[in-house]
Structure 1
Amino acid sequence: MKMRQKNNIPIFLCELPPPYGGVTVKNQLIINYTLQLQKPIDIIDLYECKRNKKSVLKTFGKIIISMLTQRRIIYGFGSYKRLKIVIYLQRLCGGKKSLRMSKNIVMGGVFQDYIRTQKCLKKLLIQMKTHYVETEGMKAELEKMGFSNIEVFPNPKSETGSCPPQISKPNAPLRLVYFSQISKEKGVKDIIDLVSLLDRRKTVSYCLDFYGHIKDDIKTEFCEFIKESPYVRYCGIFDSTKSNVYQKLNTYDILLFPTHWDTEGVPGILIEAKMAGLAIIASNCSYNKEIIQINKKEGFLVYNDYPCEMYKIIKQLENDKNLLYQIKTASFQSRIRYRLDEYKDIIKSL
């Protein structure tokens, strides 16, 4: 009887790498909300094998037993290659029945591109119960490829602690913030060029804070930039386990997100900025236009010359604080599309 009850409890086979990663944040959010709903779930963290090499045999033993005993598995992997390995393993150990009970929470925005190159894997993934992708665009592409088991779960966030926008004082400097990994692919070089424009033209009063892990590809240039820029600060890595990220973001006016990283689905920082009532300036990269659905109302998209386009928008908003407040308000109102409570039925069904 106990074994039968145990088999009814799903297994969340996931990755929980260090806390500043989007995969960890999304997986932990699902775990926390599931527990909040008092829904039993067993968790197997594949990243534990990296933390403690002695746990490799024990972890894989748990995985194989769960497949052999036909446990319902929910996948939450940041790596599509590792997902591929365990899907093949599940087919081998648990057969078609095991696959048909399983669900997959997709991370990032290029799952469909990876599947196009994996014909055998695609056949197995089509057999699974559900894949939860982050955007409508991803869903449409996968359905064109023959999938009929796709639902949208767009990296939602808890609304607890969300903050309505602050009214910017007429003569106060614009408070700009960058809140992501500090790397070339995330557009930090474009922000460096933007600051050069702002300082050279001297038409906008501003201050800019950076938060995030600094990648080696830009570390030397970025540190030199911080030293030479009087209105720019590096504030380290924000620890959301100790402080409320919405309250911190709410102290700013505009989030800068000129990413070139085309593998993203729904970047968590864009949702957090909405929850905090910020105006957003983001590149028209990946699926950002799905998140800023109404350009120049919920936020702004930049298309080609990111530094120049960002400069023009910032200058416009500094000259018209009423418009800035309207954009911040519309951004805050659009958070409703990404409230975790809107997707509680999906989490209940896992």
Structure 2
Amino acid sequence: MKSKIGIIGHFGFGKEFLDGQTIKTKILYEELRNILGEEQVLYLDTYNFKKNLFKMLIKSMKLSFKTENIVINLSKRGRNVFIPIFYYLKKIFGIRVHCMVIGGGFADQMRDNKYVRNISKKIDGIYVETNVMLDALKELGYQNVKHLNNFKSLEIIHKSKLNSEVNTPLRICTFSRVVKEKGIEVIMDAIEMINQKEKKVVYTLDIYGQIDEKYLSEFKNKMENSPEYIKYKGMIDYDKSVDIIQDYFLLAFPTLYRTEGVPGTIIDAYASGVPVISSDWDSCNDVIDDNITGIIFKLGDVNDLKSKLEEVYADPHRITNMKENCLGKALEYSSHVVIPKFLDSLD
């Protein structure tokens, strides 16, 4: 008897990876095993797959023989390799092939890659995180595209635990990969500008996350020249995020990437009852309800971010009044809600 699902993704077992792709892959694997049973869910770890493509191809064939459904959960490079592989294995073994799209750049990538675009239109399902991506792929002629929210397996705090007290300085955190393209310097500069203008510390910033190796030296230099109210607090296990974030006033998501999907860090914030101040990436309005679950500023515009933070400082209850809204929004991204919907689509 075949297992129901085989997951193709970057697990990196034995290594410490805190990127969104790896976290989503592991959560998917764990939740499916909880629902279907351990024997019904198999996996193929693509960590360092380019070092031995032949060996990975053999493993792909074996997995196709053992399962009914293949779920590809990879970023750009992995998708470009494994979508064609499993399309042809689909023809041989009669499996059903599905691809969960991580991030928001899939449509742009398919415009530039006619070969993978044509093949990906012929697999059983392409699952995207936002309606913006759904519409973009439909414009490219996709008929197998479906909307499925990003998800996390988090315990959403009870509204009785929400802290609506306002204490100065107001505490902000970032909780994502530490790299310039995530806008980390934008939020650092905005907070420094406000505190200097007010001539006192009205905001603090704590930075959590894995520092990108290519950015390490530059980030260290930036931190050495930053005031003491801006701190790097290290890495936190993805399942401990709510415990940390719930003590903050705001979570900042100042990304410079226009093609974000549904960032896991925003799901973390919602589950913590903490509103978000975010740049307006392309799918931003799918994820953040402006002035309801967060505040949106112009992407890359430090002055607009500074202005929005000044407005918040003048009326901080504007943020605390959003807290309960965040808890309701978090339910939309709960793995307990989203993954059963995915399983229903397989039947």
Indicate the TM-score class for this superposition, using the shorter chain for normalisation.
0.7 to 0.9
Q: Is the 8 A contact 1:163 1:250 kept in 2?
A: no
The residue type equivalent to 1:239 in the other structure is: D
1:295 maps to which residue? 290
Alignment of 1:1-350 (within 5 A): 5-6=1-2, 8-17=3-12, 18-39=16-37, 40-47=40-47, 49=49, 58-67=55-64, 71-78=68-75, 80-95=76-91, 98=94, 101-162=96-157, 164=159, 166-202=162-198, 205-216=202-213, 218-227=215-224, 228-240=226-238, 244-292=240-288, 294-303=289-298, 306-349=301-344, 350=346
Q: Report the CA distance shift for 1:71/1:322 in structure 2 as closer, same or farther (over 3 A).
A: closer
Determine helix, strand or coil for the equivalent of 2:207: strand
The residue type equivalent to 2:227 in the other structure is: S
Q: Once the 2 structures are TM-superposed, how far is the Cα of residue 158 of structure 1 from its aligned partner?
A: 2.4
Q: Once the 2 structures are TM-superposed, how far is the Cα of residue 92 of structure 1 from its aligned partner?
A: 4.0
The residue type equivalent to 1:212 in the other structure is: G
Q: Once the 2 structures are TM-superposed, how far is the Cα of residue 137 of structure 1 from its aligned partner?
A: 1.0
- Which whole-Å CA distance do the structure 2 matches of 1:61 and 1:151 have between them? 30
Q: Report the CA distance shift for 1:249/1:70 in structure 2 as closer, same or farther (over 3 A).
A: closer
Q: Is the 8 A contact 2:180 2:215 kept in 1?
A: yes
Unaligned runs of 5+ in 2: none
RMSD of aligned residue pairs (Cα, Å): 2.6
Q: Is the 8 A contact 2:255 2:299 kept in 1?
A: no
Q: Is the 8 A contact 2:121 2:143 kept in 1?
A: yes
Determine helix, strand or coil for the equivalent of 1:154: coil
Q: Report the CA distance shift for 1:186/1:77 in structure 2 as closer, same or farther (over 3 A).
A: same
The residue type equivalent to 2:111 in the other structure is: R
Q: Once the 2 structures are TM-superposed, how far is the Cα of residue 124 of structure 1 from its aligned partner?
A: 1.9
Q: Is the 8 A contact 1:181 1:215 kept in 2?
A: yes
- Which whole-Å CA distance do the structure 2 matches of 1:305 and 1:16 have between them? 32
Q: Once the 2 structures are TM-superposed, how far is the Cα of residue 283 of structure 1 from its aligned partner?
A: 0.4
Q: Once the 2 structures are TM-superposed, how far is the Cα of residue 117 of structure 1 from its aligned partner?
A: 2.1
Q: Once the 2 structures are TM-superposed, how far is the Cα of residue 281 of structure 1 from its aligned partner?
A: 0.6
- Which whole-Å CA distance do the structure 2 matches of 1:69 and 1:230 have between them? 56
- Which whole-Å CA distance do the structure 2 matches of 1:171 and 1:341 have between them? 35
Q: Is the 8 A contact 1:178 1:209 kept in 2?
A: yes
- Which whole-Å CA distance do the structure 2 matches of 1:206 and 1:250 have between them? 17
- Which whole-Å CA distance do the structure 2 matches of 1:122 and 1:97 have between them? 22
Determine helix, strand or coil for the equivalent of 1:64: helix
Q: Report the CA distance shift for 1:245/1:311 in structure 2 as closer, same or farther (over 3 A).
A: same
Q: Report the CA distance shift for 1:82/1:219 in structure 2 as closer, same or farther (over 3 A).
A: closer
Q: Once the 2 structures are TM-superposed, how far is the Cα of residue 302 of structure 1 from its aligned partner?
A: 0.5
Q: Once the 2 structures are TM-superposed, how far is the Cα of residue 193 of structure 1 from its aligned partner?
A: 1.6
The residue type equivalent to 1:42 in the other structure is: L
Q: Is the 8 A contact 2:297 2:308 kept in 1?
A: no
The residue type equivalent to 2:144 in the other structure is: N
Q: Report the CA distance shift for 1:171/1:235 in structure 2 as closer, same or farther (over 3 A).
A: closer
User: Bigger CA drift: 109-118 or 152-161?
Assistant: 152-161
Q: Is the 8 A contact 1:68 1:94 kept in 2?
A: no
Q: Once the 2 structures are TM-superposed, how far is the Cα of residue 192 of structure 1 from its aligned partner?
A: 2.5
Q: Once the 2 structures are TM-superposed, how far is the Cα of residue 84 of structure 1 from its aligned partner?
A: 2.7
Q: Is the 8 A contact 1:109 1:265 kept in 2?
A: yes
Q: Report the CA distance shift for 1:318/1:111 in structure 2 as closer, same or farther (over 3 A).
A: same
Q: Is the 8 A contact 1:134 1:155 kept in 2?
A: yes
User: Bigger CA drift: 187-196 or 199-208?
Assistant: 199-208
Q: Once the 2 structures are TM-superposed, how far is the Cα of residue 196 of structure 1 from its aligned partner?
A: 2.6
Q: Is the 8 A contact 1:73 1:102 kept in 2?
A: yes
Unaligned runs of 5+ in 1: none
- Which whole-Å CA distance do the structure 2 matches of 1:149 and 1:92 have between them? 17
The residue type equivalent to 1:342 in the other structure is: V
Q: Is the 8 A contact 2:183 2:300 kept in 1?
A: no
Q: Report the CA distance shift for 1:205/1:84 in structure 2 as closer, same or farther (over 3 A).
A: closer
- Which whole-Å CA distance do the structure 1 matches of 2:296 and 2:158 have between them? 23
